Structure 1
Amino acid sequence: MFKKNIVLTNLSHTFLTGFPLEVKSADQVLFFDIETTGLGWKRSVVYLIGAVHYKNSRWTLTQWFAETEEEEKEILMDFYLLADRKSYFIHYNGTSFDVPYLKQKYNFYQLSHPFTDKKQLDLYQKFIPLKKLFKLENMRQKDLESLLSYPRKDTFSGKELIQKYKEYHKNPTPELLELMLLHNYDDLMGMIGLRPLFSFFQLLNGSWTIRKASIISTETYEGTEEPELLITLDLLVPLPFPFSFSKADYYLTGKDRQARIKSPVKDGTLKLYFPNYQDYYYLPLEDTAIHKSIGCYVDKEHRIKATPELCYQKFECTEEFLEDPKKLLRYVRGVLGVLEM
């Protein structure tokens, strides 16, 4: 077994503050990633495990590499000695692959696994809502890294590395070993590098204040002028890069510490969206949503189940509305709820 430790001098002891974690100290946290020769645990081996952990006031990356397939059990045992002392695991798509794969391996060797009663943050699952926001075709870790211009040096996929591992068996050169270690290193550091993406969730959880709301005039493609409601939000945390997103006639943009929402004002009215759309019916003839406690009395032919886009009631866009913080807050939350879907 080959073991490598790297002190990560580019990570400060406070970098975890960007992650949504409920931990008292950094030494409770463990980032980890594995490399295997296949997806099925019965016909493949885990040949490389990498972990980033905090110890002795510094962040360290440890990698366990199985020089041969027979060393698989040995690297599992060494990883356990570290992981079992941690209480919070962070991984990318580990819920679907890494964790169940490792559990099966530990069970196969009749060893205890380190995942019992541990909290976990799966970055893949956490960032799923950002797929639509950034118009991503895939949700690979590399796709998210590209948004942040992460300087990945590794050029291989995990699948391509399987062949490199087979080549290493025939001819164990330092160059092949470094290729595999580099891929695992970039996966771990890239995972940590995704931290700035959490700042986008402040739009969804309400970590902002309304700076201004006003009616503006926007020119359409036909050359006519149409009124729109422009609401400017002040964000608590700066965004790592500008973005824009549109859905159902609404337009959301963001840059640095500010976000803007544009809403169409049709015939002097706006749409107030309600949360929990499952509790509402939509009435097509009236173009409005009503709660099921009332809608149950409406003829079934004149009602349908509400969707996020159809769960609204119209109201007049008056000066009183524009100057009422509570009404504006409720309106913005409703629009962001629609944009989130």
Structure 2
Amino acid sequence: MTSSQRWSQRNPKLFLPLAAALWWGLYQTLIPLSEALVAALPVARDSHLGGALQFFFYDTPKVLLLLTGVVFVMGAVNSSFTPERTRALLAGRREGVANVMAATLGIITPFCSCSAVPLFIGFVQAGVPLGVTFSFLISAPMVNEVALALLLGLFGWKIAALYLGLGLAVAIVAGWVIGRLRMESQLEDWVRDMPRVDAAVADSRMRLGERIDAGFASVREIVGRVWPYILAGIAIGAGIHGYVPEAFMASIMGRDAWWAVPLAVLIGIPMYTNAAGVIPIVQALLGKGAALGTVLAFMMSVIALSAPEMIILRKVLKPRLIATFAGVVATGILLVGYVFNLVL
């Protein structure tokens, strides 16, 4: 336990406002600090390189600060949402209602696509219907608190709310469709044959100091795992921001070309990153004139249909069910892209 954690345990009510004030103070220095760093370099501010460097120097601490703050708060709040408790909330629920509940739980539970196999096995053992399980597995990585907080901080509440509604709709409808197809036979045999277990409800009574510790643990676990993807995403975004002509980006990701949305989905699927890593790329694409629906389709495909997640899920699903899952989700994402390019 670090000295800051020991102090927060002894003074939890004082620690929180001081930490919030420090976070806000650091956040306010980001623009002048990034401009000062570029000015200190032998680079013209209005050059391609100057613009790319300012984007990188500004967005890197901004995204990391947003991510750290959100993960800390949600880690403290989510300390009672263990996998066992989540399974207990979903087990025995009627399909339809359960799909909505599962997708909503995916927003507030701290699980990502890396947790796909153990979560999937746990849900099957607890008797959660297959379609409901998929609603959760789609929503948890795609519509999580990190994605929403970063979208809110970078683009405002309208874009964040739009993404929330779209992501929930895709997760709910895709899970319901998969449930209607009755594809339980497409689970790997060893998964189907596992004995059912009762989903125990974890005790959620924790003191404030313990919840602060849970927040620190989430920051170490999540930020420690995703920061390389954040740097990679911001570096790509900085390159797009500084060097890619607006006319070129608008031509391949604009609203006029019918193939822009499926192309964005196909580009997104092989990428291995998460919401924190892809949002800086999204920011740069929108700044260069890419259409909102196309960019949202790209972002959703990166997070919900990544090739590594498909490989992980192959351990528990047969190829036909993986293909059905990918096809249903991709169809929903394509519809989202086309509809919003049409109406916005």
Q: Same fold (TM over 0.5)?
A: no
Q: TM-score, normalised by structure 1?
A: 0.22
Higher relative contact order (CA 8 A, sep 6+): 2
The structure with the larger Rg is 1
1 or 2, which has the higher helix percentage? 2
Q: TM-score, normalised by structure 2?
A: 0.21
